[in-house]
Amino acid sequence: MNQQDGYADDIVKGFVIWSMVWGLVAVLLGVFISFQIAFPQLNFPPYLTYGRLRPIHTNAGIFGWGIGSFMAFFIYITQRLTRRSLWSPGLAKAQLWLFNVVIALAAVTLAMGMNRSKEYAELEWPVATLVVVLWVIFSVNIVMTIVKRREEQMYISLWYILATLVGVAVLYLVNNAAIPVSLTKSYSAYAGANDANVQWWYGHNAVAMVLTTPPLAIFYYFLPKATGVPIYSHRMSVVAFWSLIFMYLWTGAHHLLWAPVPDWVQTLAMGFSVMLIAPSWAAVFNGYFSMNGQWHQMRENYLVKFLIFGITFYGMQTLQGPSQSIRTFSAFIHFTDWVPGHVHMGTLGWVSLVLFAAIYYTVPRIYHTEVYSIPMANMHFWLVLTGQLIFSITMWIAGVQQAAMLNATNPDGSLHYSFIETLAELYPYWYMRAAGGVIYLAGLLLFLYNIYKTITGGKPQAAVQPA
Amino acid sequence: MIEKKPIIFLLLATATILVGTIITMVLPFRWINDPKLAIASVKPYTPLQLEGRDIYIREGCNNCHTQTVRPLLSDTERYGEYSKSGEFVYDQPFLWGSRRNGPDLARIGGKYPDAWHVKHMKDPRAMVPRSNMPSYAFLDRPLDTSLTEKKMKALKFPYTQADIDALKGKTELDAMVAYMQKVGNDIPWRKAGKAEVVGELKNPFQDNLSVLPEGQKLYAEHCAQCHGIELKGEVGPDLRDMDKPDSKVFATIYSGITEGGMPAFGDTLGKERTWKVVTYLKSVHRK
């Protein structure tokens, strides 16, 4: 039920390919800056310093790889769940061009030092304006496709897709409010503690609306597709959906615990962060229970392996996150390497594993080929899993060690270590992290090669396809 | 029902995300930066300081340095007085950061003399041997002042023509140092929070040669960047002819000299280790 139904799948091809390109950029830069932290001689000012490259790494990862592939799969999934072709393929083509222009502009302007400094909202106002245009084009196309659908019921994936469209719009507009000085420079419209509170309302809900709801939409669609059995409970996914989008927005200030923002905002953030375990784990259980009687597929079906490990990391992420948002634990590990360890379990473990599965599933279908090599896909799985675990585990240990050293006191109450003494102990962990990054990169290259061969050299699929 | 009505669904979802948004993000505007929390001594940035701050933003310093001291022992003992919201009312954007790859800078103003910053920015490892900070020697280039007045106007900060004229001939490094010296220094915390040494001070290690190796090691870690590994002086004065009494040397290291740029080491070293450094310094003098 692909091209013969008139689905606009050429545009999906474009987004899949370009998101992989930006994903490669994000990982290459990530590996490079991990070496810069361990070997400061690798900083080449002014353009290639850690301070300028790290925002390019995060923007390429979240917006290039993340949003790029979400656009691909939102377009792919929405057409199939509504049983109609995309409302405007022409608009989607313009969207692909604009998307690439925006990400390329982001990389260039950030390298030149045009940077608003607000995390994941670094882009200066002319580029940010293009992002808004891009999002409006995208949203209109998806919403119109849904409005004009041929299938009356909206499957849960469409719920998450709609929530993403409106959520990102609200977050992005509010946090990017700026006072322009010139085309290349602006100041935040908010000051001091207000700016901090707005920023982390945005920053944490970018995690919600970019790194949680879209992968969940994709997971809920592709898990049943991969296993051939439906999702365990529609009702559970509905309850989880509403509680997730209700509770997430209260939690931003857990990034500001002990900072000079009002205590009650911090306490609410802490409470809601812990409550978020419930809807998060409802999705995890929904995934696990869908596997009842199907667990043998973990051995036989490589797609299931990616998806189930993905949702497992989501589950671990949503237990670790709330624990970090408790004041006492935050006091200990905040500002240390623990946090990058946490973040990368979510981005490399949860989001990327689900996206890999979705790409492996869709590319052969839209190109009418077969996957070039399943053993290679298995190898890819183990390499990225190993690389990611090395990254996260070394960073957790490094974070706990540095936190312990920073808190160590002498018998007379003075601090035992100066800051630099705690930093010097981190080098071995940073070498290991960089090694983990190289392993991850090797896995990613294998994946890209596999997809490349699938697109160009794969055997043509039989004319009659399984649905 | 609503799974069949996308527009109603969209409105409901929007309303749902707006509840937490309004309560935890919109409402706090009423309390944060309330005039009651204002601190009179906190002043807007001068043109030079603002240009320095913009360079700090341009170079992404906030990726490695935070600017908030939390009210926790390990923060206040290490960096100084905890941060107050009234100190940040002129910060657009805020620069609190999220990761300490380097130390917190919320109380960096006045901690070191300008010369220390210049040397450190040009070659961080010359001052802090195991640091992983990139070198910022390239900042020693003319400051671009074409937007300065527009920036000051955009932020509604007061300035005079003399302030603008004074920017002539300044380098980016000058602006950066001016900004560093302003950060966290608008409240008189150094004076107020200064560790006063009371009572008669007597060196417990006087003539105790066994503490000299540790004293020398502590000196190399904490003092040599400014006073030189051979005590010949560089950013700080020559220490080879230390003829002051032990108690005076102790007080200087322990509490610092705010006016002279000598940081206080009492919080880092504690009494015992400070005495060991004193003993080492005096032993060099005797040679």
Q: Which CATH class is domain B209-286?
A: mainly alpha
How many Å apart are CA A98 and CA A113, to the nearest integer? 22
**Considering CB atoms only, which of A40, A195, A246 is closest to B132?**
A40
How many Å apart are CA B203 and CA B283, to the nearest integer? 13
The token pair at A105 is 């502009």
> B171 forms bridges with which residues in the sheet?
B142
Measured between beta carbons, which residues in chain A are less than 8 angstroms from residue B25? Answer: 174, 197-198, 201, 249, 252
Size of interface A-B (CB pairs under 8 A): 268
How many Å apart are CA A357 and CA A16, to the nearest integer? 12
Measured between beta carbons, which residues in chain A are less than 8 angstroms from residue B96? Answer: 196, 256, 259
A239 inside 8 A of chain B by CB: no
The token pair at A444 is 């990613």
Distance from CA of B46 to the nearest CA of A (A): 16
Distance from CA of B40 to the nearest CA of A (A): 16
> B262 forms bridges with which residues in the sheet?
B257
Measured between beta carbons, which residues in chain B are less than 8 angstroms from residue A410? Answer: 270, 272-273
B204 inside 8 A of chain A by CB: no
Residues A315, A319, A321: CA angle, nearest 5 degrees: 115
Asked if A272's CB is within 8 angstroms of B20's CB, the reply is yes
A265 inside 8 A of chain B by CB: yes
ipTM greater than 0.90, yes or no? yes
**pLDDT tens by residue, B187-235:** 988 776 666 667 778 899 988 889 999 999 999 888 988 898 889 888 8
Asked if A187's CB is within 8 angstroms of B154's CB, the reply is yes
Give CA torsion, residues A298, A299, A300, A306, to 10 deg. Answer: 40
Measured between beta carbons, which residues in chain B are less than 8 angstroms from residue A190? Answer: 92-93
Residue of chain A minimizing CA distance to B87? A192
**Cβ within 8 Å of A, B 217-236:** 221-222
The answer to the question of residue A363 being in a domain is: no
What are the φ and ψ backbone dihedral angles of B131, each rounded to 5 degrees? Answer: -65, 150
Structurally, how many domains does chain A consist of? 1
Asked if B24's CB is within 8 angstroms of A253's CB, the reply is yes
Spatial CA neighbour of A167 closest among A245, A265, A58, A252: A245
Domain that holds residue A81: 1-189
Q: Is the pLDDT of residue B1 over 70?
A: no
Q: Please report the pLDDT score of residue B196 as a whole number.
A: 66
Helices in chain B by DSSP H: which ranges? 6-21, 47-58, 73-79, 114-122, 124-127, 148-154, 161-165, 172-182, 189-192, 212-222, 224-227, 246-255, 266-286
B192 inside 8 A of chain A by CB: no
B202 inside 8 A of chain A by CB: no
Contact status, residue A436 vs residue A27, Cβ threshold 8 Å = no
Taking the domain B47-192, which CATH number applies? 1.10.760.10
The answer to the question of residue A413 being in a domain is: no
Q: Please report the pLDDT score of residue A3 as a whole number.
A: 47
User: Could you read off the pLDDT tens digit of each residue along chain A, which spans 467 residues?
Assistant: 444 468 999 999 999 999 999 999 999 999 999 999 999 999 999 999 999 999 999 999 999 999 999 999 999 999 999 999 999 999 999 999 999 999 999 999 999 999 999 999 999 999 999 999 999 999 999 999 999 999 999 999 999 999 999 999 999 999 999 999 999 999 999 999 999 999 999 999 999 999 999 999 999 999 999 999 999 999 999 999 999 999 999 999 999 999 999 999 999 999 999 999 999 999 999 999 999 999 999 999 999 999 999 999 999 999 999 999 999 999 999 999 999 999 999 999 999 999 999 999 999 999 999 999 999 999 999 999 999 999 999 999 999 999 999 999 988 788 889 899 999 999 999 999 999 999 999 999 999 999 999 999 756 555 445 44
Place of tokens 């992420």: A317
Largest CA distance in chain B: 91
| Over residues B42-61, mean pLDDT | 98
How many Å apart are CA A177 and CA A116, to the nearest integer? 11
How many Å apart are CA A56 and CA A53, to the nearest integer? 5
**Considering CB atoms only, which of A119, A146, A251 is closest to B6?**
A146
**Cβ within 8 Å of A, B 21-60:** 21, 23-25, 28-29, 31-33, 54, 57-60
B141 inside 8 A of chain A by CB: no
B287 inside 8 A of chain A by CB: no
Q: What's the pTM?
A: 0.94
Whether residue B93 has a cis bond before it, omega within 30° of 0: yes
Measured between beta carbons, which residues in chain A are less than 8 angstroms from residue B3? Answer: 153-154, 159, 238
Q: Please report the pLDDT score of residue B193 as a whole number.
A: 62
The answer to the question of residue A171 being in a domain is: yes
How many Å apart are CA A283 and CA B52, to the nearest integer? 48
Supply the mean pLDDT for chain B.
Answer: 91
Spatial CA neighbour of A159 closest among B18, B21, B12: B12
Contact status, residue A442 vs residue A379, Cβ threshold 8 Å = no
**Three-state DSSP class for residue B144:** coil
**pLDDT tens by residue, B250-286:** 989 988 887 777 888 887 788 889 999 999 998 886 5
The answer to the question of residue A208 being in a domain is: no
The answer to the question of residue A450 being in a domain is: no
Asked if B135's CB is within 8 angstroms of A147's CB, the reply is no
Distance from CA of B247 to the nearest CA of A (A): 19
A335 inside 8 A of chain B by CB: yes
Asked if B29's CB is within 8 angstroms of A40's CB, the reply is no
H or E, element range at A203: helix A192-209
Asked if A258's CB is within 8 angstroms of B24's CB, the reply is no
Q: Please report the pLDDT score of residue B287 as a whole number.
A: 52
How many Å apart are CA B172 and CA B186, to the nearest integer? 22
Asked if A415's CB is within 8 angstroms of B96's CB, the reply is no
| Over residues B165-188, mean pLDDT | 96
Q: State the burial class of residue A397 (Cβ atoms within 10 Å of its Cβ: 0-12, 13-18, 19+).
A: middle
Q: Please report the pLDDT score of residue A2 as a whole number.
A: 44
Task: Report the percent of chain B where pLDDT is more than 90.
Answer: 67
CATH of the domain at A78: 1.20.210.10
Q: Please report the pLDDT score of residue B284 as a whole number.
A: 84
> A409 forms bridges with which residues in the sheet?
A415
How many Å apart are CA A168 and CA A165, to the nearest integer? 6
The answer to the question of residue A174 being in a domain is: yes
Within 8 A by CB and 6+ apart from A371, the residues are A360, A363, A364, A377, A450, A454, A458
| Over residues B65-94, mean pLDDT | 96
Beta strands A185-188 and A178-182 are antiparallel
**pLDDT tens by residue, B8-38:** 999 999 999 999 999 999 999 999 988 888 9
**Three-state DSSP class for residue A335:** strand
H or E, element range at A182: strand A178-182
The answer to the question of residue A95 being in a domain is: yes
Asked if B25's CB is within 8 angstroms of A252's CB, the reply is yes
How many Å apart are CA B172 and CA A330, to the nearest integer? 36
Contact status, residue B255 vs residue B264, Cβ threshold 8 Å = yes
How many Å apart are CA A76 and CA B83, to the nearest integer? 49
Contact status, residue A60 vs residue A22, Cβ threshold 8 Å = yes
**Considering CB atoms only, which of A40, A51, A146 is closest to B63?**
A51
Q: What is the DSSP letter of B34?
A: -
**Three-state DSSP class for residue B171:** strand
Half-sphere exposure of A159 (CA within 13 A, CB side): 24
How many Å apart are CA A354 and CA A350, to the nearest integer? 6
Distance from CA of B42 to the nearest CA of A (A): 12
